[in-house]
Amino acid sequence: MHELLLFASVPAHQHHELLQQLAGLTAMQPRHRLERRLVFKAYRKPGLVTTRVGASQDVQGADMQRLNKMLNGGMYYTQVVGPVTKADFGPTSSSAMSASHDADVSMSGTDQSSYCYDNQPWRLEFRDIPEAGTRSAVTTRLMASASLPKGDIAVPMNAWGYSFVTEYMVEGDVFVQNDIVIFLHRVLLYPQAESQDSHGPRQQLPAYHELTPLERTGSYVLQAAITVQDGSNQEMMKTASQHLFGLREQLKSAVRLEQADRLSLDTRAK
Amino acid sequence: MSDSFTLPLRPLLEKRERPDTLPQEIAQINAQYGSFRDVTEESLRAKIAEEKNKDPWAEEDEAEKPTAEVDTTERMDQLYKRRAEITQFAMQAHMEAQFAVDFVSLLLSKHAATARQAELSMSPYLKQVAPMGSLNAEIVNPPPKSEAALQDIKTVSRGWRIQNFNAAANKLLRSATRLETEVKSETKYWDEVLAVKNKGWKVCRLPRDRQALGVQYGFLEATPIFRDRGLAALRRADDGSLLLDKGLIPQKVRTVRVRVKTQGQSTGCSKVSWSLPDADSIEGRILQARDTVYEEELFHEMVREARIMGSQGVTTRQNLIQVPVSEEQEVLLDLVDVDQGEPADTEMLSNEHDTIADAVAHSVRILLAYAHRQNLRRRTQPPPPLTPKRRHVPEYQLLRPVMAYLQHTAHVRSLESFMGDIVGVLKSAGLRCGFTSAPFSSVRLPKVHASVPKVETLVKQFLMPFESTFTGNLLTPESSFCVKVRTNTVSPPSGTFYEITVNLPHHPEVKPPSRIGLQTEAAAALAHFMLLDIVTTISNKGAKSPEGTDAGKGVLSWEAAYAHHGELRALSSSGNNKKMKVSLSREELTVQTYPLRGADVSGRAEKGKSANPRHQSWRSDSSESRPSLMEFVEEVSQDRP
């Protein structure tokens, strides 16, 4: 699948107004979305890679070649996305509580968050670096998503050769206009953890108001995305970008949607 | 400053102190008409009449002119002539203006300050003919005018001025009144627009006509052609009242009418016209427009759905959908104008199915609203990736659930009445048997689910296949039956199916057919199981008494010979062999006995012995008391011919 994107930066004071405008444009109420995003980095497990493929009379040449290509291909960062709700966040007072204490309280407490890490659904999102040298004025990149097992995701991800890097929260609203998914969102960072072990996703969520926006001014990002099943179908890609341009034209007086800097969306792991 | 400050626009005419003008007027009359002595009433009347007659004449003369038949060619000529005249006048005016310009230019060219400009506006001809600055103007003292002439000029100019003032005042006042009415109508218009907006209608600019306002009354989730029709312009009539301008869409109010036909005769019709509280108000008209667009969409969608239901006997005409419900009943749906929708009394046989028709009419509307909600749900979900294949919009489920419901009801009713009849027959024969029916046992009131509105879960129940169950006990203990009636018209296999399960311990080999589609087949199968059960009961009864005592007491014991045909026989040691035949139908239960010779079943009555075949039947409706089946069996079981 391919993804075609346009981005715009929305200052905080314009956020409310833009929400209204988008609601009018798409004739729907915004769908609020809160997502935990875990960043994983692929690494090569030592000893697994066998670059030598024996002699030339190898029978399984084609298979081995493909396997080798897969094993020695580029390494990428991937994201694991888990939807949460506001009710999942911790109570406002429990900022100082340790993880184990939290677990105790949540078993007995009444107003505690019902967040259960073991039931957290996950989705793997792979995004390639945007295609270079396209003349079109949209960001195009290869993408794939897959659902993952619930619960502690670090273990299976580790087993697949990914190591946990960091995590953050995305908060925003989704609109759908025909084939375009409009996501007006911003990135929130977790408070600086004092006792958090840095290797692994959090088991508990802090209070919502403790999250701080990555962008200090609190501005949002407007992302208009359209996915195309077959990226090699030029016709479809053209139609999709036409749709995006149509949206850009419609939103012209409100925001300026434009292509993103390719290298800023680089997901390759070096 | 007070608001009522007024400024007189008309010039004040000061009344001069005039000398009495009566003597002058008398003198004038005398001069004009002669002496007063000649004035009589008749002459005055004649004069008045003459004046009266004259006026219309003069008018008629003028009116006649345009009506005079003018030939088209003549008319063309006239037209050309007039046009030529107009151009001529224009040319002339142009010439004169040119002359004037030349004249002034020549005059001005004398002065150095204006010479350049004057040269520019001079015509080339004049430049050739007359040298620059060759014309001068000087002020000459006019000869003094006479006092009378001066007075005249003064009076005339004063008159002119007054006339002009008057004209200006009139114009001002007229435009003031025009503005006033304009403001009034504009206020009225905006008040009404506001009223519409305050009622909750969405008022917006028209996308194509940016100057006009429009009101959105349609349904956002409807099919695009109907969605786009849900917007009408709010235009202003001359008096400021609001006009709903729907463009090219006819103004008729249309609605879907449902009729029920039983055996070819109309037996029910849904209500067609609802009287809106005030149909002529703008709100009423918007409501009507909204209803019409909804009804037309409803019919459009039903026709679309009916086309894929052709295999189930649904037929469509240009403006009619026929849905068969049962063998004798069908539902007709059509789109009619509200004012002519009521069927004539002559074509209506009865009104007994009005309720059904109304219920169907309401259901399809509710289902369309449900489909709209589903559309909204689908639209606001993240879309699947773009593919060259276009997403097919599935037909809405409007007729299918209704048809399924009606068909299911018909099937369940008929089975229920069949069972009731059979049980009645058995009861009259003194047999205990009962059944319980659970119509629509599959429809359960849904659990409240937070993410889906209650209404939707409620409607959703009726889009599932319907199922009803009948359960009952048979005569022999431990034997029972269960019938499940399933109707499904939404997904194949469509139609109604009966699933019969029986528990006959005495006939373990008996298996009901797996899928029964016909009502008669299901009834026949059930009757057959009942018959088997009766046969078992009779043979069991004999077996109850110990075998050894049978012969001694002269009581025969029956055993099933051909249970599936309802045949039993009793062998007697004394040769009084008998055969019994039981038959069961929904009307009656019949038992016949024949004497048998020996063990030979095919043998018939003996020659010498009086073959007295006995016969007894039970009907559910007969009131006369008869021996019960068991008594009868006991009686015929006596070991005697």
> Cβ separation of B385 and A233 shorter than 8 Å?
no
Lowest mean pLDDT among A176-185, B180-189, B240-249: B240-249
Which of the four pLDDT bands, split at 50, 70 and 90, describes residue B114? confident
Tally A–B CB contacts below 8 A.
37
Q: Is B323 helix (H, G, I), strand (E, B) or coil?
A: strand
CATH of the domain at A160: 2.40.320.10
Instruction: Provide the shortest C-alpha distance from residue A227 to chain B (in Å).
Output: 5
The per-residue pLDDT for B16 is 62
In whole angstroms, give the CA distance from residue B281 to residue B147: 72
Strand ordering across the sheet containing B495-503: B434-438, B466-473, B480-488, B495-503
In whole angstroms, give the CA distance from residue B271 to residue A133: 66
Instruction: Provide the shortest C-alpha distance from residue B220 to chain A (in Å).
Output: 8
- Distances in Å between the alpha carbon of A122 and those of A48, A151, B159, B506? 27, 8, 97, 59
Query: Shortest CB distance from A228 goes to which of B220, B382, B385?
Result: B385
Which of A4, A32, A35, A228 to probe the B interface (max B CBs under 10 A)? A228
A173: containing domain: 2-46+61-265
The per-residue pLDDT for B1 is 45
Mean per-residue pLDDT for B570-598?
A: 78
- Classify residue A208: in a domain, yes or no: yes
**Closest A-chain CA to B219:** A27
> Cβ separation of B388 and A235 shorter than 8 Å?
yes
Mean per-residue pLDDT for A181-194?
A: 86
The per-residue pLDDT for B156 is 93
DSSP structure class, residue A194 = S
Q: Say if residues A185 and A221 touch (Cβ distance below 8 Å).
A: yes
Instruction: Provide the shortest C-alpha distance from residue A235 to chain B (in Å).
Output: 8
- Classify residue A55: in a domain, yes or no: no
Q: Is B582 helix (H, G, I), strand (E, B) or coil?
A: strand
The per-residue pLDDT for B324 is 87
In whole angstroms, give the CA distance from residue A136 to residue A4: 10
Q: What is the mean pLDDT of chain B?
A: 80
A16 class by beta-carbon count within 10 Å (0-12 exposed, 13-18 middle, 19+ buried): exposed
- Classify residue A175: in a domain, yes or no: yes
A230: chain B residues, CB-CB within 8 Å: 387-388
* Residue B480 vs residue A30, higher pLDDT: A30
- Classify residue A213: in a domain, yes or no: yes
> Cβ separation of B385 and A229 shorter than 8 Å?
yes
Which of B205, B221, B386, B389 to probe the A interface (max A CBs under 10 A)? B386
Q: Tens digits of per-residue pLDDT, B393-404?
A: 788 888 888 888
- Classify residue A30: in a domain, yes or no: yes
Q: Is B548 helix (H, G, I), strand (E, B) or coil?
A: helix
- Classify residue A53: in a domain, yes or no: no
Q: Tens digits of per-residue pLDDT, B135-186?
A: 888 888 878 888 898 899 999 999 999 999 999 999 999 999 999 999 999 9
Q: Tens digits of per-residue pLDDT, A205-251?
A: 888 888 889 888 989 999 999 999 888 888 888 889 899 999 999 99
> Cβ separation of A229 and B381 shorter than 8 Å?
no
| Full-model pTM | 0.72
Q: Which residues pair with B589 in a beta bridge?
A: B584, B618
Q: Tens digits of per-residue pLDDT, B35-61?
A: 777 778 888 888 888 888 765 555 544
In whole angstroms, give the CA distance from residue B431 to residue B475: 7
Element spanning B334, H or E:
strand B329-337
- Classify residue A184: in a domain, yes or no: yes
> Cβ separation of A1 and B385 shorter than 8 Å?
yes
Could you tell me the sign of the dihedral formed by the alpha carbons of B634, B635, B639, B641, in that order? negative
> Cβ separation of B380 and A233 shorter than 8 Å?
no
* Residue B362 vs residue B474, higher pLDDT: B362
A29: chain B residues, CB-CB within 8 Å: 380
> Cβ separation of A181 and B388 shorter than 8 Å?
no
Instruction: Parse chain B into domains and list their residue ranges.
Output: 83-137, 254-378, 401-636
The per-residue pLDDT for B291 is 87
> Cβ separation of A226 and B386 shorter than 8 Å?
yes
**Closest B-chain CA to A3:** B385
In whole angstroms, give the CA distance from residue A29 to residue A23: 6
Mean per-residue pLDDT for B442-465?
A: 77
Mean per-residue pLDDT for A61-66?
A: 75
Count of H-run helices and E-run strands, chain B: 14, 18
The per-residue pLDDT for B607 is 41
A229: chain B residues, CB-CB within 8 Å: 384-387
* Residue B175 vs residue B350, higher pLDDT: B175
Task: Give the total number of structural domains in chain A.
Answer: 1
Other CB atoms within 10 A of residue B280 CB: 9
A178: chain B residues, CB-CB within 8 Å: 383
